[in-house]
Amino acid sequence: MEEKSLKKFETSGYCPVRDVIAPLGDKWSILILTTLKVNGKLRFNEIQRTIGDVSQRMLTVTLRSMEADGIVRREIYAEVPPRVEYELTELGECLFPHLQALVDWAENNMNTIMENRSNYYKT
């Protein structure tokens, strides 16, 4: 029997999937990016209200990660009390059409997937 030749995804340097896509693949990142795209520049509490069930800590961690990647910009205003707003950067804007395709796919297939899960866990 002939051995199958497998395409390997090991890397000795940076990996687009592990190092770029994976941190954006969690539910909070996609929801935050979507709310910033739809609503524009928002304050922290406004983001939290639009998403609803994200904890303050998780929102903070996720926003900091996306800020470090250059996808979200945080602007601090020298006011009393201080005002901080978040918005998508140019990099975040060019990412969004790709995320929108994924969100559209999820919306179009949600009922089928939920039904499949329900049937799978019944057995």
Instruction: Give tens-digit pLDDT for 4-31.
Output: 887 777 767 778 888 888 888 888 999 9
Domains of the chain, residue spans: 16-122
Q: Which helix (H) or strand (E) is 90 found in, with range?
A: helix 90-122
Higher pLDDT among residues 42 and 13, named by residue = 42
Structure tokens given for 116: 């499949």
Segment 55-76 mean pLDDT:
96
Contacts of 20 (CB under 8 A, 6+ apart): 14, 69
Bridge partners of residue 77, in order along the sequence: 83
Structure confidence at residue 110 (pLDDT): 96
Segment 60-84 mean pLDDT:
94
Strand extents, DSSP E, 15-71? 42-43
62/114 Cα distance (integer angstroms): 27
Segment 95-107 mean pLDDT:
92
Structure confidence at residue 11 (pLDDT): 67
Structure tokens given for 74: 């945080």
R_g of the chain computed on alpha carbons:
19
Query: Under a CB-based contact definition with an 8 Å cutoff, are residues 86 and 72 in contact?
Result: yes
Contacts of 41 (CB under 8 A, 6+ apart): 75, 85, 86, 87
The fold adopted by the segment(s) 16-122 is Arc Repressor Mutant, subunit A (1.10.10)
